[in-house]
Amino acid sequence: MKKTVFSFLLICILILSGNANSQVDQNLALRYSGTQNMDEAKAITIDASNNIYVTGKSLSALNGYDIVTVKYSSAGAVLWTAVYNGTANSLDEPNDILYDGTNIYVTGTTTRSALTGLDYVTIKYNASTGAILWNSFYTGIGATDDIATKIAYKNGSAYVTGKGFYSTSSSADYVTIKYNGTTGDSIWVKNYNGTGNGNDSATSIRISTDSSIFVTGKSFGTSTYDYATLRYSSAGTQNWAKRYNGSSNGNDIGISLSLNSTAASPDIYVTGTSDSTGTGTNIVTIKYTFTSVESWKKTYNGNGNGNDSPAELRYVDDNSIYIIGKSSMSGAGTNMALMKYTSTGDTTFVRTYNGTANGNDEAAGITIDASGYIYVAGKLSQAGTGDDYGVIKYTTGGAIEWVATYNNSGSGYDAASRVTVDATTDRNVYVTGASFSGSTGTNYATVKFKQNKVLDLNVFIQGFYNPVTNSAIKDTIRVYLYNSAATTIIDSAKVRLDSLGKARLYFRTALNSTAYRIVVKHRNSLETWGNTTNTFANLYLAYDFTTAATKAYGSNMIRVDTSPTEYAIYGGDLNDDGAVDATDISLVDNDSFNSLSGYVQSDVNGDDYVDGTDISLIDNNASNSISLIRP
């Protein structure tokens, strides 16, 4: 057995450097290195128990590159490592990984003999033990390189596509294979040879609910490459083939395909890169009907008029199409790019993100969680640290929720290839790829990002609210989360309220589906408790104190506006003893007598002066015996 080296790093540092109120933390960094310190993770998947499977290539001194697949627990423990070495002790490399609900499939290329070049290899692993259940191969004609690129699974069958020398040793075809998922026996092998009899290579495959198989890629036409998108029946009959040749008659390469997995006769969405005249390569996305009719075509050209290309397309069942890749931007190299289309071809948004070094950035992987948030991963060119992993979380409307980066050391190359999110309500994010190690090498690096819980809060402070403008002076508060019994502080966060009394707070130790009491404290106001316990659901919680006195425990707030109706927490508890009384009056009276100004405790209306208005506010609250009310 070949010697392997594992490095397990459990770290809890903030990703957004210097921001103590960030939304995401790096929770784990799991590194794998073979004996030669030349390793690259290519793909990642996750099972129903939230175990993580990573596959890639790892260089061995004797065997060349091997396919190495690692299973981790959600806590980062290595559960098994499977090393696959082809019989020729040369290049073996995976391109895709899949979990079928029970077991793991890996597909790619292997060297079995110098006489046959590279061959397709598809391996089925026991997900519990890592034992190989079967491996199957496809060998084309002659000493040629046959490379499986993608795998799909449906109703007990595995489907693999890629580039294979099916009919001649001089040019490759799409070669798509259907395997018996139990035995690994091939049920059928189908090829597609483009109109130009040149090299054709499939890049993506999807299966619909009726077990129709859709494949896309690049296919040689009259003189250049075209998109070629095919539909097969479950029996392997080719139903149709659609080609796309761009207006410049340059190279057009289909890269990714998706469809509505819940529809019996779904539409098909294909994206790729297309040569243009004067604007480099553009991202061209096409919608076909189930019967091959082209419904629409969308072209994206970055403002740099350079090379734009997609990496992946995802269809979400709310009729949203997401495409990620890289966009050429004027003066900024290439940026990570995310675009969203509707099923009717309307552009919902386009978002680009530029790393801090203003270099070349690109997105490589995308996933969408159960709440519809979008996660994009790739590499960012960062000032001082070179190329780093970059992960961005977007809302469905295209707003950035957070950006996280990973740099192993120095300014070496770190580039994420894939991203996934677990099915827990914590929405843990896992990203993998190749990460700089030592002076020249790279390792697998699989990073877990733990998202903090998010509280969207609305609260006004008496004295700071102006009913004429319906706005407030901005100031800082601290919010505590107590347990439901109101006996123990579980977490706290500090934030500055905006002029509408709104703020977003992040909590690291809070849990989903656990009851908490919200408590607001301000530098010169009365500690105020929320009326009920509240729970985070799928990371998020919203609470608004401003709409009614009853939103505070004991209705312990004051009405500060009638149109609209607004409530605020009581001001004036300067010494934080839970009561507005004579001691607070004394403090503000002394400071007013001394004409104190600035950001001081006794300025209870936030105008930076201690004067009669502050005395009046505290005196009124003291006269009404305003004090802390809590469970």
* DSSP H or E segment with residue 273: strand 268-275
Whether 54 contacts 446, CB under 8 Å:
yes
Where does CATH 2.60.40.4130 sit in the chain?
455-623
Mean confidence (pLDDT) of the chain: 95
Could you tell me the CA-to-CA distances from 517 to 20, 452, 460, 514, 534 in Å, in that order? Answer: 22, 17, 18, 10, 6
Q: What is the mean pLDDT of residues 280-306?
A: 97
| pLDDT class of 262 with cuts at 50, 70, 90 | confident
pLDDT tens-place string over residues 140-178: 999 999 999 999 999 999 999 999 999 999 999 999 999
Task: Give the model's pLDDT for residue 81.
Answer: 98
The full 3-state SS of 76-129, as one line of letters, equals: CCEEEEEEECCCCCCCCEEEEEEECCCCEEEEEEEEEECCCEEEEEEEEECCCC
Query: Do the beta carbons of residue 283 and residue 302 sit within 8 Å?
Result: no
pLDDT of residue 114: 87
The confidence band for 9, taking pLDDT boundaries of 50, 70 and 90, is very low
Instruction: Read off the pLDDT of residues 235-260 as tens digits, 9 standing for 90 and up.
Output: 999 999 999 999 999 999 999 999 99
Q: Which fold has domain 194-353?
A: Neuraminidase (2.120.10)
For 15: left if phi > 0, alpha if psi spans -120 to 50, otherwise beta; the answer is alpha
Q: Look at residues 614, 627, 536, 622 and name the one whose alpha carbon lies nearest to residue 577.
A: 627
* Interatomic CA distance for residues 105 and 337, integer angstroms: 30
Confidence at 21, pLDDT banded by 50, 70, 90: low
Q: Tell me the per-residue pLDDT of 317-370, one tens digit each, with 9 for 90 and over.
A: 889 999 999 999 999 999 999 999 999 999 999 999 999 999 999 999 999 999
Q: With pLDDT > 90 as the criterion, what percentage of the chain qualifies?
A: 94
**Average pLDDT of 465-489?**
98
Q: Any idea which residue has 């927490």 for tokens? A: 569
Is 593 exposed, middle or buried, given 0-12, 13-18 or 19+ CB atoms closer than 10 A?
exposed
Quick check: 6 and 32 in contact, CB under 8 A?
yes
Q: What is the second-level CATH architecture of the domain 455-623? A: Sandwich (2.60)
In the chain, ranges of CATH 2.120.10.30 domains: 194-353
Per-residue pLDDT, 14: 32
What is the reported pLDDT for 8? Answer: 35
Confidence of residue 10 (pLDDT cuts 50, 70, 90): very low
Tell me: pLDDT of 608 over 80.
Answer: yes
Lowest-pLDDT range of 21-35, 171-185, 418-432, 495-509: 21-35
Task: Enter the pTM of the model.
Answer: 0.93
pLDDT band at 295 (very low <50, low <70, confident <90, very high): very high
CB 414 within 8 A of CB 436: yes
In the 8-state DSSP scheme, what is residue 292?
S
Q: What is the pLDDT of residues 81-122, one digit of tens each?
A: 999 999 999 999 999 999 999 999 999 999 999 899 999 999
Across residues 190-206, what is the average pLDDT? Answer: 97
Q: Quick check: 225 pLDDT over 60?
A: yes
